[in-house]
């Protein structure tokens, strides 16, 4: 029995309830479904990383780290970004270790967006962007990516920019579509924001998971964008330890100063032992440079296993995800399809409509291939049994 409060209050997010991820998770647990829904690996990280955290704890690195993060780790990030993307960030003033990429997103939006501002973002999208913007008293402006390739309509972006536009949120590689920005996209974004005060917030948590020999076109690869961008990335996504909740931000010093003002009161510092372990681990660049090939093998396996399924797979250029279309064999909504897959076939996926604020239903479901081979094979086998309805 829950406790009742006599306190009267107004919700700051009155229309936000339990997320679809929680609903699907609960239904999946009831039916012991194979998990292709969650964008989190189900396999163990490198034992060297576990040993690194253990050693850091045993060496008594268990108290607060520096507010902006463990300097040797920040130095390695600066070297990585300079080598891969050509941008140089000051270790002390332009790099912040955060308690997850999600905290980085929150600190950046909270520190840089004011009441009355507008923030443009693209749907389908990661579900935290719009609520964080609304919590600042600002207005999220959703633009829909163009199907079937989930591309940005830059003329639509141009039309959406107003004098109140403070920020544009980018996500590449993109969750949930698996698509990536091109060099042309960066040029268009730079052109539209030139001579404005618009900040780019770039969610690049899958930066090392780009397939087919292509390059990651992040904001740090484009000087005109780097100077107005906050870039957010994730150690959890990169090193298969999403539960450790450590990420980082890159930004010009003036912007980073405002982000740190929020970060210091929100978290103060990220977990210390994990930072020591990451610093030791990523001293070998192969730990992150090998990720594209690692996950491409999983993507290719999933695609091959689903050749005989009734679903039509969309291309995936990066990230952990594939989208599967079903309108050619069923008129169900995507939510109905997902529930039927769990209850009748024992496999959990996510409806793409969950990534739209207006519930747009394009008859697509999202599959995660960030799983071990046994899970991928079992999940694909179940999907291949699905009957029209």
pLDDT tens per residue across span 31-82: 999 999 988 899 999 999 999 999 999 999 999 999 999 999 999 999 999 9
State yes or no: pLDDT of 19 exceeds 80: no
The interaxial angle of helices 334-345 and 20-31, nearest 10 deg, is 20
Q: What count of residues does the chain have? A: 389
Please spell the DSSP secondary structure of 133-192, one letter per residue: HHHTT-EEEEEEPBTTTTB--HHHHHHH--TTEEEEEEESSPTTT-----HHHHHHHHHH
C-alpha distance from residue 373 to each of 157, 287, 289, 354 (Å): 40, 20, 21, 27
Q: Report which DSSP code applies to 319.
A: S
pLDDT of residue 38: 86
pLDDT tens sequence across 287-307: 999 999 999 999 999 999 999
pLDDT of res. 24: 86
| pLDDT mean over 199-205 | 98
Task: Answer whether residue 22 shows pLDDT above 90.
Answer: no
**313-357 confidence digits (pLDDT tens):** 999 999 999 999 999 999 999 999 999 999 999 999 999 999 999
Domains of the chain from N-terminus onward: 20-45+289-383 (3.90.1150.10), 47-287 (3.40.640.10)
Chain-centre distance for alpha carbon 72 = 25
Q: What is the mean pLDDT of the chain?
A: 96
Report the predicted TM-score, pTM, of the whole model to 2 decimal places: 0.95
Q: Angle 270-274-277 (CA atoms, 0-180°, nearest 5)?
A: 140
Q: What digits encode the pLDDT tens for the residues 131-167?
A: 999 999 999 999 999 999 999 999 999 999 999 999 9
The answer to whether 124 touches 177, Cβ cutoff 8 Å, is yes
How far is Cα 389 from Cα 122, in angstroms, rounded to an integer? 32
d(CA 349, CA 65): 38
The edge-to-edge listing of strands for the beta sheet with 312-313 is: 312-313, 321-325, 364-368, 350-351
């Amino acid at each position: 029995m829950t406790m009742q409060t006599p306190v009267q209050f107004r919700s700051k997010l009155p229309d936000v309830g339990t997320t679809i991820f929680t609903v699907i998770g609960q239904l999946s647990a009831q039916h012991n479904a194979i998990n292709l829904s969650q964008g989190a690996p189900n396999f163990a990280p490198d034992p060297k990383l576990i040993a690194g955290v253990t050693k850091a704890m045993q060496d008594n690195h268990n108290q607060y780290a520096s507010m902006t993060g463990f300097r040797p780790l920040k130095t390695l990030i600066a070297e990585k970004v300079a080598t891969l993307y050509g941008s140089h960030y000051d270790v002390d003033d332009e790099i912040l270790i955060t308690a997850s990429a999600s905290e980085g997103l929150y600190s950046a939006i909270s520190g840089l967006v004011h009441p009355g501002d507008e923030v443009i973002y693209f749907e389908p999208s990661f579900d935290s962007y719009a609520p964080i913007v609304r919590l600042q008293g600002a207005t999220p402006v959703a633009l829909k990516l163009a199907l079937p390739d989930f591309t940005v309509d830059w003329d639509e972006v141009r039309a959406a920019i107003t004098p109140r536009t403070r920020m544009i949120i980018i996500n590449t590689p993109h969750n949930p579509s698996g698509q990536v920005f091109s060099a042309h996209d960066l040029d268009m974004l730079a052109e539209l924001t030139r001579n404005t005060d618009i900040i780019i917030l770039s969610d690049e948590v899958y930066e090392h998971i780009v397939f087919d020999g292509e390059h990651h076109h992040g904001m740090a690869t484009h000087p005109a964008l780097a100077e107005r961008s906050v870039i957010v990335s994730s150690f959890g996504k990169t090193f298969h330890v999403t539960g450790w909740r450590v990420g980082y931000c890159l930004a010009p010093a003036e912007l980073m100063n405002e982000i740190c003002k929020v970060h210091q009161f929100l978290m103060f510092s990220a977990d210390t032992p994990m930072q020591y372990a990451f610093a030791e681990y990523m001293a070998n660049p192969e730990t992150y440079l090998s990720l594209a090939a690692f996950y491409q093998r999983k993507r290719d396996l999933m695609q091959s296993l689903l050749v005989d399924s009734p679903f039509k797979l969309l291309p995936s250029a990066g990230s952990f995800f594939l989208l599967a279309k079903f309108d050619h064999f069923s008129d169900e909504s995507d939510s109905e399809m997902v529930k039927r897959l769990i209850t009748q076939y024992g496999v959990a996926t996510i409806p793409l409509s969950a990534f739209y604020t207006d519930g747009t239903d394009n008859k697509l479901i999202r599959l995660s291939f960030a799983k071990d081979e046994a899970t991928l094979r079992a999940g694909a086998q179940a999907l291949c049994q699905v009957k029209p309805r």
